[in-house]
Structure 1
Amino acid sequence: MSSHKEALLAFKNGDLQTALGIWESEENRSNAVGLYNLGLIYQNPKLLDMEKSLEYFKQAGLLGHGNASFRYALTLLADKSDKEKLKEAFFFMYQAKENGNPMASTLLGGARLESKSDTINQNFRAKDYDGKLFVIEDALNRFIRPILTKDGGGIELIEFTDKDVIELKFIYTGNCSGCSLAATGTYQMIINTLYEVIDKNIEVFTL
Protein backbone atom coordinates (compact mmCIF):
# COMPACT_ATOMS: atom_id res chain seq x y z
CA MET A 1 0.00 0.00 0.00
CA SER A 2 1.35 3.43 -0.95
CA SER A 3 1.89 6.01 1.77
CA HIS A 4 -0.89 8.15 0.28
CA LYS A 5 -3.39 5.27 0.36
CA GLU A 6 -2.30 4.46 3.90
CA ALA A 7 -2.95 8.07 4.91
CA LEU A 8 -6.38 8.02 3.22
CA LEU A 9 -7.31 4.86 5.10
CA ALA A 10 -6.18 6.37 8.40
CA PHE A 11 -8.10 9.56 7.62
CA LYS A 12 -11.30 7.64 6.84
CA ASN A 13 -10.91 5.65 10.07
CA GLY A 14 -10.52 8.81 12.13
CA ASP A 15 -6.82 8.26 12.87
CA LEU A 16 -5.90 11.88 12.17
CA GLN A 17 -2.42 11.78 13.67
CA THR A 18 -1.30 8.93 11.40
CA ALA A 19 -2.78 10.62 8.34
CA LEU A 20 -1.18 13.89 9.40
CA GLY A 21 2.26 12.33 9.79
CA ILE A 22 2.17 10.78 6.33
CA TRP A 23 0.75 13.72 4.41
CA GLU A 24 3.07 16.23 6.08
CA SER A 25 6.13 14.20 5.11
CA GLU A 26 8.37 15.65 2.40
CA GLU A 27 7.46 13.01 -0.20
CA ASN A 28 3.78 13.99 -0.11
CA ARG A 29 4.20 17.77 -0.31
CA SER A 30 3.48 17.75 -4.06
CA ASN A 31 0.33 15.62 -3.73
CA ALA A 32 -2.68 17.90 -4.26
CA VAL A 33 -5.15 15.47 -2.69
CA GLY A 34 -2.95 15.00 0.35
CA LEU A 35 -2.52 18.75 0.78
CA TYR A 36 -6.28 19.24 0.48
CA ASN A 37 -6.90 16.59 3.11
CA LEU A 38 -4.39 18.29 5.39
CA GLY A 39 -6.49 21.40 5.03
CA LEU A 40 -9.53 19.39 6.12
CA ILE A 41 -7.68 17.80 9.04
CA TYR A 42 -6.69 21.19 10.42
CA GLN A 43 -10.35 22.20 10.41
CA ASN A 44 -11.18 19.27 12.67
CA PRO A 45 -11.95 20.50 16.22
CA LYS A 46 -9.32 18.12 17.64
CA LEU A 47 -6.50 19.73 15.64
CA LEU A 48 -8.02 23.09 14.75
CA ASP A 49 -5.53 25.47 13.12
CA MET A 50 -7.20 27.68 10.51
CA GLU A 51 -3.94 29.30 9.42
CA LYS A 52 -2.42 25.92 8.53
CA SER A 53 -5.68 24.75 6.98
CA LEU A 54 -5.83 27.72 4.61
CA GLU A 55 -2.17 27.43 3.68
CA TYR A 56 -2.68 23.78 2.70
CA PHE A 57 -5.80 24.64 0.70
CA LYS A 58 -3.78 27.30 -1.10
CA GLN A 59 -0.95 24.88 -1.89
CA ALA A 60 -3.39 22.24 -3.13
CA GLY A 61 -5.19 24.85 -5.23
CA LEU A 62 -1.95 25.89 -6.89
CA LEU A 63 -1.48 22.24 -7.85
CA GLY A 64 -4.88 22.17 -9.54
CA HIS A 65 -7.23 20.89 -6.82
CA GLY A 66 -10.60 22.50 -7.57
CA ASN A 67 -12.21 22.01 -4.16
CA ALA A 68 -9.14 23.39 -2.39
CA SER A 69 -9.13 26.46 -4.64
CA PHE A 70 -12.83 27.00 -3.93
CA ARG A 71 -12.44 26.76 -0.15
CA TYR A 72 -9.47 29.13 -0.18
CA ALA A 73 -11.27 31.64 -2.40
CA LEU A 74 -14.34 31.64 -0.15
CA THR A 75 -12.18 32.50 2.84
CA LEU A 76 -10.57 35.40 0.98
CA LEU A 77 -14.01 36.71 0.01
CA ALA A 78 -14.99 37.02 3.66
CA ASP A 79 -13.12 40.33 3.90
CA LYS A 80 -14.63 42.61 1.25
CA SER A 81 -12.50 45.56 2.41
CA ASP A 82 -9.14 44.06 1.36
CA LYS A 83 -8.70 44.50 -2.41
CA GLU A 84 -5.55 42.40 -2.58
CA LYS A 85 -7.33 39.45 -0.98
CA LEU A 86 -10.25 39.92 -3.36
CA LYS A 87 -7.93 39.90 -6.37
CA GLU A 88 -6.44 36.64 -5.09
CA ALA A 89 -9.96 35.29 -4.55
CA PHE A 90 -10.72 35.82 -8.24
CA PHE A 91 -7.61 33.86 -9.22
CA PHE A 92 -8.46 30.88 -7.04
CA MET A 93 -12.17 30.91 -7.86
CA TYR A 94 -11.27 30.87 -11.56
CA GLN A 95 -8.90 27.94 -10.91
CA ALA A 96 -11.68 26.16 -9.02
CA LYS A 97 -14.05 26.65 -11.95
CA GLU A 98 -11.46 25.46 -14.47
CA ASN A 99 -10.82 22.36 -12.34
CA GLY A 100 -14.46 21.36 -12.19
CA ASN A 101 -15.82 22.73 -8.93
CA PRO A 102 -19.58 23.16 -9.57
CA MET A 103 -20.07 25.85 -6.90
CA ALA A 104 -17.30 27.96 -8.44
CA SER A 105 -19.08 27.72 -11.79
CA THR A 106 -22.25 28.98 -10.11
CA LEU A 107 -20.63 31.88 -8.24
CA LEU A 108 -18.11 33.15 -10.79
CA GLY A 109 -19.61 35.09 -13.65
CA GLY A 110 -17.56 35.46 -16.81
CA ALA A 111 -15.29 33.59 -19.19
CA ARG A 112 -12.23 34.23 -21.30
CA LEU A 113 -12.83 35.95 -24.63
CA GLU A 114 -12.70 33.37 -27.42
CA SER A 115 -12.12 35.79 -30.30
CA LYS A 116 -11.61 39.54 -30.60
CA SER A 117 -14.19 41.82 -32.19
CA ASP A 118 -13.21 43.99 -35.14
CA THR A 119 -15.41 46.82 -33.84
CA ILE A 120 -13.31 49.08 -31.63
CA ASN A 121 -14.55 52.07 -29.63
CA GLN A 122 -11.75 54.42 -30.66
CA ASN A 123 -13.04 57.26 -28.48
CA PHE A 124 -12.85 55.11 -25.35
CA ARG A 125 -9.56 53.47 -26.28
CA ALA A 126 -7.90 56.85 -26.85
CA LYS A 127 -8.45 57.88 -23.23
CA ASP A 128 -5.80 57.41 -20.56
CA TYR A 129 -6.30 54.97 -17.68
CA ASP A 130 -8.09 57.49 -15.44
CA GLY A 131 -10.33 58.60 -18.29
CA LYS A 132 -11.38 55.03 -19.00
CA LEU A 133 -11.95 54.37 -15.31
CA PHE A 134 -14.20 57.43 -15.12
CA VAL A 135 -16.35 56.13 -18.00
CA ILE A 136 -16.67 52.70 -16.37
CA GLU A 137 -17.61 54.10 -12.96
CA ASP A 138 -20.06 56.51 -14.59
CA ALA A 139 -21.77 53.58 -16.33
CA LEU A 140 -21.96 51.71 -13.02
CA ASN A 141 -23.44 54.72 -11.24
CA ARG A 142 -26.01 55.53 -13.91
CA PHE A 143 -27.13 52.15 -15.23
CA ILE A 144 -26.17 49.32 -12.89
CA ARG A 145 -25.92 50.39 -9.26
CA PRO A 146 -29.43 51.95 -9.12
CA ILE A 147 -30.96 48.62 -10.19
CA LEU A 148 -28.93 46.58 -7.70
CA THR A 149 -29.61 49.06 -4.88
CA LYS A 150 -33.36 48.47 -5.24
CA ASP A 151 -32.77 44.85 -4.18
CA GLY A 152 -30.41 45.79 -1.36
CA GLY A 153 -27.28 44.97 -3.31
CA GLY A 154 -24.34 46.71 -4.87
CA ILE A 155 -21.21 46.24 -6.94
CA GLU A 156 -17.59 47.40 -6.67
CA LEU A 157 -14.83 47.40 -9.26
CA ILE A 158 -11.88 45.51 -7.81
CA GLU A 159 -9.49 45.40 -10.74
CA PHE A 160 -9.26 47.09 -14.14
CA THR A 161 -6.52 45.85 -16.46
CA ASP A 162 -6.09 48.18 -19.43
CA LYS A 163 -4.90 46.25 -22.49
CA ASP A 164 -6.19 45.26 -25.96
CA VAL A 165 -8.70 42.92 -24.30
CA ILE A 166 -9.70 44.86 -21.20
CA GLU A 167 -10.19 42.79 -18.04
CA LEU A 168 -12.63 43.93 -15.36
CA LYS A 169 -13.30 42.24 -12.03
CA PHE A 170 -16.29 43.16 -9.89
CA ILE A 171 -17.40 42.11 -6.42
CA TYR A 172 -21.09 42.00 -5.55
CA THR A 173 -22.07 43.44 -2.17
CA GLY A 174 -25.16 43.30 0.02
CA ASN A 175 -27.97 41.03 -1.16
CA CYS A 176 -26.25 40.47 -4.50
CA SER A 177 -23.34 38.66 -2.83
CA GLY A 178 -23.76 34.92 -3.31
CA CYS A 179 -27.10 35.30 -5.12
CA SER A 180 -27.65 32.61 -7.77
CA LEU A 181 -28.91 35.22 -10.26
CA ALA A 182 -25.76 37.31 -9.85
CA ALA A 183 -23.71 35.05 -12.12
CA THR A 184 -26.43 34.87 -14.79
CA GLY A 185 -29.08 37.57 -15.25
CA THR A 186 -27.27 40.30 -13.33
CA TYR A 187 -24.01 39.45 -15.04
CA GLN A 188 -25.64 39.72 -18.46
CA MET A 189 -27.00 43.16 -17.62
CA ILE A 190 -23.54 44.32 -16.54
CA ILE A 191 -21.66 43.01 -19.55
CA ASN A 192 -24.25 44.32 -22.02
CA THR A 193 -23.92 47.78 -20.46
CA LEU A 194 -20.14 47.64 -20.67
CA TYR A 195 -20.30 46.50 -24.29
CA GLU A 196 -22.13 49.74 -25.02
CA VAL A 197 -19.72 52.09 -23.22
CA ILE A 198 -16.49 50.25 -24.13
CA ASP A 199 -16.74 47.60 -26.88
CA LYS A 200 -16.86 43.80 -27.04
CA ASN A 201 -13.13 43.31 -26.54
CA ILE A 202 -13.53 42.93 -22.78
CA GLU A 203 -13.45 40.14 -20.24
CA VAL A 204 -15.74 40.74 -17.27
CA PHE A 205 -15.63 38.60 -14.13
CA THR A 206 -17.93 38.89 -11.13
CA LEU A 207 -18.05 37.31 -7.67
Structure 2
Amino acid sequence: MDELRTHYHYFSNEEGDGYEIYSCDIPEVKGFGETYDEAMADLRNNLKRYQEKKMEAQSLMETAILAYDAKDYPKAKAIWERLSSTDTDAMVNLGTMYVKGFGVAKNIETAFALFNRAAEQGHEVASFYLGGMYENAIGVNASKSESIRYYTVAAEANMPTAQLKLGILLRNDDVYESMKWMIRAAHAGESQAHSLLTYVSNQSTANDINVAFRMMDESSQRAKIESIITENLAPILASDGGGVELVHYIGGDTPEIWLRYLGACSGCHLGPTSTAGMILEQFESVIDKKIVIYLW
Protein backbone atom coordinates (compact mmCIF):
# COMPACT_ATOMS: atom_id res chain seq x y z
CA MET A 1 0.00 0.00 0.00
CA ASP A 2 2.90 2.40 0.77
CA GLU A 3 4.01 2.29 -2.87
CA LEU A 4 0.52 2.65 -4.24
CA ARG A 5 0.52 4.01 -7.79
CA THR A 6 -2.54 6.12 -8.45
CA HIS A 7 -4.16 8.50 -10.87
CA TYR A 8 -6.75 11.08 -9.90
CA HIS A 9 -8.96 13.81 -11.26
CA TYR A 10 -11.04 16.56 -9.72
CA PHE A 11 -14.69 16.69 -10.74
CA SER A 12 -17.38 19.31 -10.42
CA ASN A 13 -21.00 18.68 -11.36
CA GLU A 14 -24.55 19.20 -10.18
CA GLU A 15 -24.05 16.55 -7.49
CA GLY A 16 -21.06 18.33 -6.01
CA ASP A 17 -17.29 18.67 -6.18
CA GLY A 18 -14.64 16.16 -5.25
CA TYR A 19 -11.84 13.79 -6.19
CA GLU A 20 -11.81 10.39 -7.86
CA ILE A 21 -8.67 8.30 -7.42
CA TYR A 22 -7.98 4.85 -8.87
CA SER A 23 -5.16 2.38 -8.56
CA CYS A 24 -2.95 2.13 -11.66
CA ASP A 25 -2.44 -1.58 -10.90
CA ILE A 26 -6.13 -2.34 -10.26
CA PRO A 27 -8.01 0.36 -12.21
CA GLU A 28 -11.44 -0.99 -11.32
CA VAL A 29 -10.86 -0.12 -7.64
CA LYS A 30 -11.54 3.56 -6.98
CA GLY A 31 -11.87 6.01 -4.11
CA PHE A 32 -14.03 9.11 -3.84
CA GLY A 33 -14.04 12.09 -1.48
CA GLU A 34 -14.60 15.77 -1.19
CA THR A 35 -10.87 16.22 -0.61
CA TYR A 36 -7.87 14.39 -2.04
CA ASP A 37 -7.06 12.85 1.37
CA GLU A 38 -10.63 11.59 1.80
CA ALA A 39 -10.57 10.03 -1.67
CA MET A 40 -7.21 8.38 -0.97
CA ALA A 41 -8.47 6.96 2.33
CA ASP A 42 -11.55 5.61 0.54
CA LEU A 43 -9.32 4.04 -2.14
CA ARG A 44 -7.15 2.33 0.48
CA ASN A 45 -10.23 0.91 2.22
CA ASN A 46 -11.63 -0.34 -1.08
CA LEU A 47 -8.30 -1.92 -2.01
CA LYS A 48 -8.22 -3.68 1.36
CA ARG A 49 -11.71 -5.10 0.78
CA TYR A 50 -10.71 -6.08 -2.77
CA GLN A 51 -7.67 -8.01 -1.51
CA GLU A 52 -9.72 -9.71 1.23
CA LYS A 53 -12.29 -10.86 -1.31
CA LYS A 54 -9.51 -12.03 -3.62
CA MET A 55 -7.92 -14.11 -0.87
CA GLU A 56 -11.29 -15.59 0.04
CA ALA A 57 -11.89 -16.47 -3.62
CA GLN A 58 -8.46 -18.12 -3.86
CA SER A 59 -9.21 -20.24 -0.81
CA LEU A 60 -12.58 -21.25 -2.24
CA MET A 61 -10.97 -22.05 -5.59
CA GLU A 62 -8.48 -24.38 -3.91
CA THR A 63 -11.32 -26.09 -2.06
CA ALA A 64 -13.27 -26.52 -5.30
CA ILE A 65 -10.27 -28.00 -7.12
CA LEU A 66 -9.72 -30.51 -4.31
CA ALA A 67 -13.40 -31.43 -4.43
CA TYR A 68 -13.29 -31.84 -8.22
CA ASP A 69 -10.20 -34.04 -8.05
CA ALA A 70 -11.97 -36.15 -5.42
CA LYS A 71 -14.98 -36.41 -7.76
CA ASP A 72 -17.13 -34.42 -5.35
CA TYR A 73 -18.64 -32.60 -8.32
CA PRO A 74 -21.65 -31.07 -6.51
CA LYS A 75 -19.34 -29.30 -4.06
CA ALA A 76 -17.01 -28.08 -6.83
CA LYS A 77 -19.96 -26.91 -8.91
CA ALA A 78 -21.52 -25.00 -6.02
CA ILE A 79 -18.29 -23.10 -5.36
CA TRP A 80 -17.56 -22.34 -9.01
CA GLU A 81 -21.12 -21.15 -9.56
CA ARG A 82 -20.71 -18.78 -6.62
CA LEU A 83 -17.41 -17.44 -7.98
CA SER A 84 -18.37 -17.40 -11.66
CA SER A 85 -20.01 -13.99 -11.53
CA THR A 86 -16.55 -12.40 -11.47
CA ASP A 87 -13.84 -15.11 -11.51
CA THR A 88 -12.80 -16.19 -15.02
CA ASP A 89 -11.08 -19.37 -13.78
CA ALA A 90 -14.37 -20.40 -12.18
CA MET A 91 -16.19 -19.72 -15.46
CA VAL A 92 -13.75 -21.96 -17.35
CA ASN A 93 -13.83 -24.74 -14.76
CA LEU A 94 -17.61 -24.69 -14.64
CA GLY A 95 -17.75 -24.69 -18.44
CA THR A 96 -15.48 -27.73 -18.50
CA MET A 97 -17.90 -29.57 -16.21
CA TYR A 98 -20.72 -28.88 -18.68
CA VAL A 99 -18.59 -30.09 -21.60
CA LYS A 100 -17.73 -33.35 -19.85
CA GLY A 101 -21.03 -33.83 -18.03
CA PHE A 102 -19.29 -34.23 -14.67
CA GLY A 103 -21.80 -33.56 -11.90
CA VAL A 104 -24.16 -31.86 -14.34
CA ALA A 105 -26.09 -32.75 -17.46
CA LYS A 106 -23.83 -32.22 -20.44
CA ASN A 107 -24.70 -28.84 -21.97
CA ILE A 108 -22.44 -27.50 -24.71
CA GLU A 109 -24.46 -24.30 -25.08
CA THR A 110 -23.93 -23.43 -21.41
CA ALA A 111 -20.25 -24.32 -21.66
CA PHE A 112 -19.83 -22.09 -24.71
CA ALA A 113 -21.50 -19.17 -22.91
CA LEU A 114 -19.19 -19.58 -19.91
CA PHE A 115 -16.07 -19.85 -22.07
CA ASN A 116 -17.18 -16.83 -24.07
CA ARG A 117 -17.65 -14.71 -20.93
CA ALA A 118 -14.20 -15.67 -19.69
CA ALA A 119 -12.60 -15.06 -23.09
CA GLU A 120 -14.13 -11.59 -23.27
CA GLN A 121 -12.25 -10.84 -20.05
CA GLY A 122 -8.93 -12.04 -21.45
CA HIS A 123 -8.79 -15.66 -20.24
CA GLU A 124 -6.45 -17.41 -22.69
CA VAL A 125 -7.57 -20.96 -21.84
CA ALA A 126 -11.17 -19.97 -22.53
CA SER A 127 -10.06 -18.54 -25.87
CA PHE A 128 -8.26 -21.80 -26.65
CA TYR A 129 -11.38 -23.83 -25.85
CA LEU A 130 -13.49 -21.58 -28.08
CA GLY A 131 -10.95 -22.04 -30.86
CA GLY A 132 -11.35 -25.79 -30.52
CA MET A 133 -15.14 -25.56 -30.55
CA TYR A 134 -15.11 -23.54 -33.77
CA GLU A 135 -12.47 -25.76 -35.35
CA ASN A 136 -14.38 -28.96 -34.60
CA ALA A 137 -17.98 -27.68 -34.82
CA ILE A 138 -18.72 -28.42 -31.16
CA GLY A 139 -21.96 -26.63 -30.35
CA VAL A 140 -21.36 -24.08 -33.10
CA ASN A 141 -20.99 -24.09 -36.87
CA ALA A 142 -17.42 -24.80 -37.91
CA SER A 143 -15.52 -21.61 -38.67
CA LYS A 144 -11.85 -21.62 -39.55
CA SER A 145 -11.62 -17.85 -39.22
CA GLU A 146 -13.15 -17.89 -35.74
CA SER A 147 -10.96 -20.77 -34.60
CA ILE A 148 -7.89 -18.87 -35.84
CA ARG A 149 -9.06 -15.71 -34.07
CA TYR A 150 -9.46 -17.44 -30.72
CA TYR A 151 -6.32 -19.56 -31.05
CA THR A 152 -4.39 -16.37 -31.81
CA VAL A 153 -5.45 -14.84 -28.49
CA ALA A 154 -4.20 -17.93 -26.65
CA ALA A 155 -1.04 -18.15 -28.75
CA GLU A 156 -0.16 -14.53 -28.05
CA ALA A 157 -0.51 -15.37 -24.35
CA ASN A 158 2.30 -17.92 -24.93
CA MET A 159 0.21 -21.10 -24.95
CA PRO A 160 2.31 -23.60 -26.97
CA THR A 161 -0.64 -25.82 -27.93
CA ALA A 162 -2.47 -22.82 -29.40
CA GLN A 163 0.70 -21.87 -31.29
CA LEU A 164 0.84 -25.40 -32.70
CA LYS A 165 -2.83 -25.20 -33.74
CA LEU A 166 -2.19 -21.94 -35.59
CA GLY A 167 0.86 -23.39 -37.30
CA ILE A 168 -1.25 -26.24 -38.66
CA LEU A 169 -4.35 -24.21 -39.57
CA LEU A 170 -2.42 -21.45 -41.36
CA ARG A 171 -0.08 -23.69 -43.34
CA ASN A 172 -1.93 -23.40 -46.65
CA ASP A 173 -3.15 -19.82 -46.14
CA ASP A 174 -0.23 -17.88 -44.68
CA VAL A 175 2.97 -19.88 -44.57
CA TYR A 176 4.96 -17.13 -42.84
CA GLU A 177 2.49 -16.90 -39.94
CA SER A 178 2.26 -20.68 -39.91
CA MET A 179 6.02 -21.06 -39.52
CA LYS A 180 6.26 -18.23 -37.00
CA TRP A 181 3.83 -19.94 -34.66
CA MET A 182 5.21 -23.42 -35.27
CA ILE A 183 8.73 -22.24 -34.44
CA ARG A 184 7.51 -20.54 -31.26
CA ALA A 185 5.66 -23.70 -30.24
CA ALA A 186 8.72 -25.86 -30.87
CA HIS A 187 10.97 -23.55 -28.86
CA ALA A 188 8.40 -23.67 -26.04
CA GLY A 189 8.77 -27.46 -25.95
CA GLU A 190 5.59 -28.52 -27.77
CA SER A 191 6.40 -32.09 -28.79
CA GLN A 192 4.14 -32.25 -31.85
CA ALA A 193 5.64 -29.02 -33.17
CA HIS A 194 9.06 -30.64 -32.84
CA SER A 195 7.89 -33.62 -34.89
CA LEU A 196 6.27 -31.52 -37.64
CA LEU A 197 8.90 -28.80 -38.01
CA THR A 198 12.39 -29.65 -39.18
CA TYR A 199 15.26 -27.75 -37.56
CA VAL A 200 18.84 -28.27 -38.70
CA SER A 201 22.02 -26.46 -37.68
CA ASN A 202 25.69 -27.15 -37.03
CA GLN A 203 26.26 -23.76 -35.39
CA SER A 204 27.80 -25.35 -32.30
CA THR A 205 30.69 -26.64 -34.46
CA ALA A 206 31.15 -23.43 -36.46
CA ASN A 207 34.77 -22.26 -36.59
CA ASP A 208 35.33 -20.28 -39.78
CA ILE A 209 32.87 -17.39 -40.15
CA ASN A 210 32.09 -15.93 -43.57
CA VAL A 211 32.79 -12.28 -42.75
CA ALA A 212 32.11 -11.13 -46.31
CA PHE A 213 28.57 -12.53 -46.19
CA ARG A 214 27.84 -10.87 -42.86
CA MET A 215 29.09 -7.52 -44.13
CA MET A 216 26.39 -7.56 -46.83
CA ASP A 217 23.15 -5.71 -46.14
CA GLU A 218 20.19 -7.98 -45.43
CA SER A 219 18.64 -7.61 -48.88
CA SER A 220 21.91 -8.74 -50.48
CA GLN A 221 22.12 -11.66 -48.07
CA ARG A 222 18.56 -12.61 -48.96
CA ALA A 223 19.42 -12.48 -52.68
CA LYS A 224 22.34 -14.82 -51.99
CA ILE A 225 20.00 -17.23 -50.20
CA GLU A 226 17.62 -17.15 -53.17
CA SER A 227 20.49 -17.93 -55.55
CA ILE A 228 21.51 -20.96 -53.47
CA ILE A 229 17.94 -22.23 -53.70
CA THR A 230 17.74 -21.65 -57.45
CA GLU A 231 21.20 -22.77 -58.50
CA ASN A 232 22.16 -25.40 -55.93
CA LEU A 233 19.01 -26.90 -54.46
CA ALA A 234 16.40 -26.70 -57.20
CA PRO A 235 18.18 -29.07 -59.65
CA ILE A 236 18.77 -31.67 -56.93
CA LEU A 237 15.25 -31.59 -55.47
CA ALA A 238 13.54 -31.40 -58.86
CA SER A 239 14.83 -34.87 -59.73
CA ASP A 240 12.45 -36.22 -57.05
CA GLY A 241 9.62 -33.87 -57.99
CA GLY A 242 10.22 -31.60 -55.00
CA GLY A 243 11.65 -28.24 -54.11
CA VAL A 244 11.83 -25.51 -51.50
CA GLU A 245 10.98 -21.82 -51.36
CA LEU A 246 12.24 -19.10 -49.07
CA VAL A 247 9.56 -18.00 -46.63
CA HIS A 248 11.54 -15.66 -44.40
CA TYR A 249 15.11 -14.65 -43.73
CA ILE A 250 16.52 -13.14 -40.54
CA GLY A 251 20.06 -11.83 -40.78
CA GLY A 252 22.44 -11.25 -37.93
CA ASP A 253 25.27 -13.10 -36.24
CA THR A 254 23.46 -16.44 -36.70
CA PRO A 255 21.20 -16.10 -39.76
CA GLU A 256 17.87 -17.92 -39.79
CA ILE A 257 16.55 -19.35 -43.06
CA TRP A 258 12.89 -20.38 -43.13
CA LEU A 259 12.04 -22.74 -46.00
CA ARG A 260 8.86 -24.38 -47.20
CA TYR A 261 8.86 -27.77 -48.88
CA LEU A 262 7.24 -27.91 -52.29
CA GLY A 263 5.87 -31.02 -53.97
CA ALA A 264 7.38 -34.39 -53.17
CA CYS A 265 10.24 -34.41 -50.73
CA SER A 266 11.03 -37.93 -49.65
CA GLY A 267 12.64 -38.05 -46.23
CA CYS A 268 12.57 -34.27 -45.74
CA HIS A 269 11.19 -34.52 -42.24
CA LEU A 270 13.89 -36.85 -41.00
CA GLY A 271 16.29 -34.05 -40.09
CA PRO A 272 20.06 -33.96 -40.68
CA THR A 273 20.32 -37.57 -41.87
CA SER A 274 18.24 -36.96 -45.00
CA THR A 275 17.16 -34.29 -47.47
CA ALA A 276 17.21 -31.66 -44.73
CA GLY A 277 20.85 -32.48 -44.07
CA MET A 278 21.65 -32.07 -47.77
CA ILE A 279 19.90 -28.68 -47.80
CA LEU A 280 21.92 -27.57 -44.79
CA GLU A 281 25.17 -28.67 -46.46
CA GLN A 282 24.39 -26.60 -49.56
CA PHE A 283 23.90 -23.45 -47.51
CA GLU A 284 26.96 -24.17 -45.37
CA SER A 285 29.13 -24.59 -48.47
CA VAL A 286 28.31 -21.04 -49.58
CA ILE A 287 27.86 -19.29 -46.20
CA ASP A 288 29.27 -21.19 -43.19
CA LYS A 289 28.10 -23.44 -40.38
CA LYS A 290 26.83 -20.64 -38.18
CA ILE A 291 23.31 -20.70 -39.62
CA VAL A 292 19.93 -22.11 -38.62
CA ILE A 293 17.46 -23.63 -41.06
CA TYR A 294 13.79 -24.30 -40.38
CA LEU A 295 11.86 -26.41 -42.88
CA TRP A 296 8.06 -26.69 -42.93
For the criterion TM > 0.5, the same-fold answer is yes
> Cα distance, 1:169 vs. partner?
0.7
Cα separation, partners in 2 of 1:140 and 1:32, compared to 1, 3 Å: same
Q: 1:8 aligns with which of 89, 96, 102?
A: 96
TM-fit CA distance, 1:191: 1.4
Matching residue's letter, 1:40: G
User: What is the 5 A alignment of 1:78-89?
Assistant: 78-79=172-173, 85-89=174-178
User: Which AA in structure 2 matches 1:163?
Assistant: G
Matched position secondary structure for 1:157: strand
* CA–CA distance in structure 2, aligned partners of residues 114 and 123 of structure 1: 18
What are the within-5 Å matches in structure 2 for residues 131-150 of structure 1? 131-150=220-239
Q: 2-side partners of 1:112 and 1:189: how far apart?
A: 12
- Deviation by residue 1:123-159 (Cα, 9 ceiling, x = unmatched): 3334444443343223223332222222221100111
Higher relative contact order (CA 8 A, sep 6+): 1
Matched to 1:182, the amino acid is: H
Report matched runs for 1:43-122 at 5 Å: 43=135, 44=137, 46-48=139-141, 49-79=143-173, 85-110=174-199, 117-122=206-211
CA deviation after TM superposition for structure 1 residue 34, in Å: 2.1
Q: CA–CA distance in 2 between the matches of 1:125 and 1:51? A: 40
The 1:120–1:114 alpha-carbon spacing in structure 2 relative to 1, beyond 3 Å, is: closer
Q: TM-score, normalised by structure 1?
A: 0.82
Contact 2:119 2:127 in 1 (8 A): no
Q: Is the 8 A contact 2:108 2:138 kept in 1?
A: no
Q: Which one-letter code corresponds to 1:9 in the other structure?
A: M
Residue 33 (structure 1) aligns with: 125
Candidates 273, 278, 288, aligned match of 1:189:
278
Alignment identity in percent? 25
Equivalents in 2 of 1:35, 1:87: separation in Å? 23
Instruction: Output the amino acid matched with 1:65.
Output: M
Q: 183-192 vs 167-176, which deviates more?
A: 183-192
SS of equivalent to 2:289: coil
* Cα distance change, pair 191–29 in 1 and its aligned pair in 2 (3 A): farther
* Alignment map for 1:156-171 (pairs within 5 Å): 156-171=245-260
- Give the total of aligned pairs: 200
> Which among 121, 132, 152 is matched to residue 241 of structure 2?
152
Q: Is the 8 A contact 1:76 1:86 kept in 2?
A: yes
Q: Is the 1:61–1:95 Cα contact (8 Å) retained in structure 2?
A: no
Give the AA of the match of 1:21: A
Which structure has the bigger radius of gyration? Answer: 2
Residue identity opposite 1:72 in structure 2: L
Indicate if the aligned counterparts of 1:108 and 1:183 stay in contact, CA closer than 8 A: no
Instruction: Supply the distance in 2 between the matched residues of 1:33 and 1:26 (Cα, whole angstroms).
Output: 9
The TM-score normalised by the length of structure 2 is: 0.60
Render the CA deviation track for 1:35-67: whole Å, top value 9, x for unaligned.
Answer: 211111123164123222111111112223222
Q: Which runs of 5+ in 2 are unaligned?
A: 1-75, 77-89
Match of 1:82 in 2: none
